[in-house]
Amino acid sequence: MYQTGKSNSRNSALSVRSMTQVALFGAIIVLLAFTPFLGYIPLGFTRATIIHVPVIIASLLMGPKKGAALGFLFGLTSFINNTMNPTPTSFVFTPFYSIGDVSGGLGSIIICFVPRILVGVVPYFVYKLVMWLTKDIVKRKSGISSAGLVLAGVSGALVNTLLVMNLIFVFFREAYAAANEVAVSAVYTFILTVIGINGVPEAIVAGILTLLIGRVLLKKNVRERLGLRNDIGY
Protein backbone atom coordinates (compact mmCIF):
# COMPACT_ATOMS: atom_id res chain seq x y z
CA MET A 1 0.00 0.00 0.00
CA TYR A 2 2.79 2.40 1.01
CA GLN A 3 4.80 1.45 -2.08
CA THR A 4 1.79 2.04 -4.33
CA GLY A 5 1.21 5.49 -2.86
CA LYS A 6 4.89 6.31 -3.22
CA SER A 7 4.86 5.15 -6.84
CA ASN A 8 1.76 7.21 -7.65
CA SER A 9 3.33 10.28 -6.06
CA ARG A 10 6.51 9.81 -8.10
CA ASN A 11 4.52 9.35 -11.34
CA SER A 12 2.52 12.47 -10.57
CA ALA A 13 5.72 14.47 -10.02
CA LEU A 14 7.18 13.19 -13.29
CA SER A 15 3.95 14.09 -15.11
CA VAL A 16 4.01 17.64 -13.73
CA ARG A 17 7.68 18.01 -14.67
CA SER A 18 6.97 16.70 -18.17
CA MET A 19 4.07 19.13 -18.67
CA THR A 20 6.26 21.97 -17.40
CA GLN A 21 8.97 21.11 -19.92
CA VAL A 22 6.47 21.03 -22.80
CA ALA A 23 4.94 24.31 -21.59
CA LEU A 24 8.38 25.94 -21.49
CA PHE A 25 9.18 24.97 -25.06
CA GLY A 26 5.67 25.97 -26.10
CA ALA A 27 6.20 29.42 -24.56
CA ILE A 28 9.47 29.81 -26.50
CA ILE A 29 7.69 28.90 -29.75
CA VAL A 30 4.85 31.37 -29.10
CA LEU A 31 7.31 34.12 -28.11
CA LEU A 32 9.29 33.63 -31.31
CA ALA A 33 6.16 33.41 -33.45
CA PHE A 34 4.55 36.62 -32.25
CA THR A 35 7.65 38.78 -31.87
CA PRO A 36 7.89 40.82 -35.10
CA PHE A 37 10.83 39.94 -37.35
CA LEU A 38 12.10 37.25 -34.96
CA GLY A 39 10.27 33.95 -35.43
CA TYR A 40 8.81 34.75 -38.86
CA ILE A 41 10.91 36.99 -41.08
CA PRO A 42 8.95 38.38 -44.08
CA LEU A 43 10.74 38.06 -47.42
CA GLY A 44 7.92 39.28 -49.67
CA PHE A 45 7.19 36.01 -51.47
CA THR A 46 7.45 33.95 -48.28
CA ARG A 47 8.55 34.02 -44.64
CA ALA A 48 11.81 32.65 -43.29
CA THR A 49 11.63 31.13 -39.81
CA ILE A 50 13.73 29.86 -36.91
CA ILE A 51 10.78 28.41 -34.98
CA HIS A 52 11.68 24.91 -36.11
CA VAL A 53 14.82 25.08 -33.90
CA PRO A 54 13.06 24.76 -30.49
CA VAL A 55 10.84 22.05 -31.98
CA ILE A 56 13.93 20.10 -33.09
CA ILE A 57 15.61 20.53 -29.68
CA ALA A 58 12.42 19.44 -27.91
CA SER A 59 12.22 16.35 -30.12
CA LEU A 60 15.73 15.32 -29.09
CA LEU A 61 15.18 16.05 -25.40
CA MET A 62 11.63 14.78 -24.89
CA GLY A 63 11.01 12.35 -27.73
CA PRO A 64 8.92 12.32 -30.91
CA LYS A 65 5.45 12.42 -29.31
CA LYS A 66 6.06 15.67 -27.45
CA GLY A 67 8.08 16.89 -30.41
CA ALA A 68 5.06 16.28 -32.65
CA ALA A 69 2.80 18.17 -30.22
CA LEU A 70 5.16 21.15 -30.28
CA GLY A 71 5.38 20.84 -34.06
CA PHE A 72 1.60 21.14 -34.14
CA LEU A 73 1.93 24.33 -32.08
CA PHE A 74 4.47 25.60 -34.62
CA GLY A 75 1.91 24.94 -37.35
CA LEU A 76 -0.80 26.67 -35.34
CA THR A 77 1.30 29.84 -34.99
CA SER A 78 1.86 29.79 -38.76
CA PHE A 79 -1.88 29.36 -39.32
CA ILE A 80 -2.69 32.33 -37.06
CA ASN A 81 0.06 34.53 -38.52
CA ASN A 82 -1.00 33.87 -42.09
CA THR A 83 -4.65 34.50 -41.24
CA MET A 84 -4.14 37.68 -39.20
CA ASN A 85 -1.05 39.11 -40.90
CA PRO A 86 -1.09 37.70 -44.45
CA THR A 87 1.42 37.95 -47.27
CA PRO A 88 0.38 37.55 -50.95
CA THR A 89 0.88 33.77 -50.68
CA SER A 90 -0.73 33.19 -47.27
CA PHE A 91 -3.58 31.25 -48.93
CA VAL A 92 -1.24 28.23 -49.02
CA PHE A 93 -1.25 28.17 -45.18
CA THR A 94 -4.81 29.19 -44.29
CA PRO A 95 -8.24 28.68 -45.85
CA PHE A 96 -9.34 32.03 -44.39
CA TYR A 97 -7.30 34.21 -46.74
CA SER A 98 -7.90 34.84 -50.41
CA ILE A 99 -6.31 36.98 -53.09
CA GLY A 100 -8.52 37.74 -56.07
CA ASP A 101 -10.29 34.52 -57.04
CA VAL A 102 -7.73 32.37 -55.21
CA SER A 103 -8.35 31.09 -51.71
CA GLY A 104 -6.98 28.35 -49.50
CA GLY A 105 -8.68 25.11 -48.56
CA LEU A 106 -7.97 21.66 -47.17
CA GLY A 107 -4.56 21.74 -48.85
CA SER A 108 -3.70 24.82 -46.77
CA ILE A 109 -4.36 22.91 -43.54
CA ILE A 110 -2.19 19.99 -44.70
CA ILE A 111 0.66 22.31 -45.73
CA CYS A 112 0.45 24.30 -42.52
CA PHE A 113 0.42 21.40 -40.06
CA VAL A 114 1.82 18.13 -41.47
CA PRO A 115 5.39 19.32 -42.23
CA ARG A 116 5.62 21.15 -38.88
CA ILE A 117 4.46 18.07 -36.93
CA LEU A 118 7.14 16.02 -38.70
CA VAL A 119 9.76 18.61 -37.66
CA GLY A 120 9.15 17.31 -34.14
CA VAL A 121 9.52 13.66 -35.17
CA VAL A 122 12.18 13.22 -37.87
CA PRO A 123 15.19 14.79 -36.04
CA TYR A 124 14.79 12.38 -33.10
CA PHE A 125 15.09 9.34 -35.34
CA VAL A 126 17.89 10.88 -37.42
CA TYR A 127 19.89 11.44 -34.24
CA LYS A 128 19.14 7.93 -32.96
CA LEU A 129 20.28 6.46 -36.30
CA VAL A 130 23.55 8.40 -36.25
CA MET A 131 24.11 7.37 -32.62
CA TRP A 132 23.58 3.71 -33.56
CA LEU A 133 25.93 3.94 -36.56
CA THR A 134 28.68 5.64 -34.55
CA LYS A 135 28.03 4.16 -31.08
CA ASP A 136 31.58 2.91 -30.50
CA ILE A 137 33.10 6.32 -31.29
CA VAL A 138 30.46 8.20 -29.30
CA LYS A 139 30.89 6.01 -26.21
CA ARG A 140 34.63 6.69 -26.17
CA LYS A 141 34.05 10.44 -26.31
CA SER A 142 31.39 12.57 -24.66
CA GLY A 143 28.40 10.30 -25.23
CA ILE A 144 26.97 12.94 -27.55
CA SER A 145 27.19 12.78 -31.35
CA SER A 146 28.05 16.19 -32.81
CA ALA A 147 27.41 14.85 -36.32
CA GLY A 148 24.05 13.53 -35.14
CA LEU A 149 23.08 16.92 -33.72
CA VAL A 150 24.00 18.74 -36.92
CA LEU A 151 22.16 16.21 -39.09
CA ALA A 152 19.13 16.30 -36.77
CA GLY A 153 18.98 20.08 -37.07
CA VAL A 154 19.46 20.07 -40.83
CA SER A 155 16.91 17.28 -41.33
CA GLY A 156 14.28 19.08 -39.25
CA ALA A 157 14.67 22.30 -41.22
CA LEU A 158 14.68 20.51 -44.58
CA VAL A 159 11.62 18.42 -43.71
CA ASN A 160 9.78 21.67 -43.14
CA THR A 161 11.01 23.49 -46.25
CA LEU A 162 10.92 20.60 -48.71
CA LEU A 163 7.50 19.33 -47.66
CA VAL A 164 5.94 22.80 -47.54
CA MET A 165 7.25 23.84 -50.94
CA ASN A 166 6.47 20.54 -52.68
CA LEU A 167 2.98 20.40 -51.18
CA ILE A 168 2.42 23.94 -52.47
CA PHE A 169 3.27 22.59 -55.92
CA VAL A 170 0.84 19.68 -55.46
CA PHE A 171 -2.12 21.72 -54.18
CA PHE A 172 -1.63 25.29 -55.43
CA ARG A 173 0.81 25.38 -58.34
CA GLU A 174 -1.35 27.59 -60.59
CA ALA A 175 -2.44 29.97 -57.83
CA TYR A 176 1.09 30.15 -56.43
CA ALA A 177 2.45 30.93 -59.90
CA ALA A 178 -0.12 33.70 -60.34
CA ALA A 179 0.56 35.19 -56.90
CA ASN A 180 4.28 35.36 -57.70
CA GLU A 181 3.75 36.47 -61.31
CA VAL A 182 5.56 33.52 -62.87
CA ALA A 183 4.40 31.13 -65.58
CA VAL A 184 2.85 27.87 -64.42
CA SER A 185 5.47 26.01 -66.48
CA ALA A 186 8.20 27.79 -64.50
CA VAL A 187 6.65 27.52 -61.04
CA TYR A 188 8.70 24.52 -59.90
CA THR A 189 11.90 26.31 -60.89
CA PHE A 190 10.67 29.23 -58.79
CA ILE A 191 9.98 26.82 -55.89
CA LEU A 192 13.52 25.44 -56.16
CA THR A 193 14.80 29.02 -56.01
CA VAL A 194 12.82 29.64 -52.82
CA ILE A 195 14.24 26.42 -51.34
CA GLY A 196 17.74 27.60 -52.18
CA ILE A 197 17.29 31.16 -50.89
CA ASN A 198 15.16 30.30 -47.87
CA GLY A 199 15.54 26.62 -47.01
CA VAL A 200 19.30 26.17 -47.28
CA PRO A 201 20.19 29.05 -44.89
CA GLU A 202 17.48 27.84 -42.47
CA ALA A 203 18.99 24.34 -42.53
CA ILE A 204 22.50 25.66 -41.88
CA VAL A 205 21.31 27.83 -38.98
CA ALA A 206 19.29 24.92 -37.55
CA GLY A 207 22.30 22.59 -37.76
CA ILE A 208 24.57 25.07 -35.96
CA LEU A 209 22.05 25.98 -33.23
CA THR A 210 21.07 22.34 -32.63
CA LEU A 211 24.75 21.46 -32.22
CA LEU A 212 25.47 24.32 -29.80
CA ILE A 213 22.35 23.87 -27.68
CA GLY A 214 22.26 20.09 -27.89
CA ARG A 215 25.84 19.64 -26.67
CA VAL A 216 24.83 21.35 -23.43
CA LEU A 217 21.35 19.94 -22.85
CA LEU A 218 22.09 16.36 -23.92
CA LYS A 219 24.84 15.83 -21.36
CA LYS A 220 23.85 12.91 -19.16
CA ASN A 221 24.05 14.85 -15.89
CA VAL A 222 21.99 17.71 -17.35
CA ARG A 223 19.33 15.33 -18.68
CA GLU A 224 19.08 13.62 -15.30
CA ARG A 225 18.89 16.91 -13.45
CA LEU A 226 16.12 18.17 -15.72
CA GLY A 227 14.28 14.85 -15.70
CA LEU A 228 14.58 14.39 -19.45
CA ARG A 229 14.43 11.04 -21.28
CA ASN A 230 17.65 9.01 -21.20
CA ASP A 231 17.35 6.96 -24.40
CA ILE A 232 18.98 9.55 -26.65
CA GLY A 233 22.62 9.18 -25.56
CA TYR A 234 25.12 7.30 -23.43
Cα separation, 21 vs 177, in Å, equals 42
Lowest mean pLDDT among 55-64, 84-93, 122-131, 223-232: 223-232
Q: Give domain status of residue 6, yes or no.
A: no
Q: Give domain status of residue 233, yes or no.
A: no
Q: Give domain status of residue 67, yes or no.
A: yes
Confidence at 3, pLDDT banded by 50, 70, 90: low
Residue 96 buriedness (CB in 10 A; 0-12 / 13-18 / 19+): middle
Number of domains in the chain: 1
Strand ranges (E), the chain: 40-42, 47-49, 98-99, 102-103
Q: What is the mean pLDDT of the segment spanning 58-82?
A: 95
Specify the pLDDT at position 18: 83
Q: Give domain status of residue 234, yes or no.
A: no
Cα distances (Å, whole numbers) of residue 95 to 101, 119, 171, 176: 13, 22, 12, 14
Q: Give domain status of residue 8, yes or no.
A: no
CATH code, 125: 1.10.1760.20
Would you say residue 2 has pLDDT above 70? no
Q: Give domain status of residue 1, yes or no.
A: no
Q: Give domain status of residue 7, yes or no.
A: no
Q: Which of the two residues, 176 and 48, has the higher pLDDT score?
A: 176
Torsion sign over Cα 216, 118, 69, 229: negative
> For residue range 125-173, what is the model confidence (pLDDT) as tens digits?
999 999 998 886 766 667 789 999 999 999 999 999 999 999 999 999 9
Q: Give domain status of residue 232, yes or no.
A: no
Range of the domain at 208: 16-226
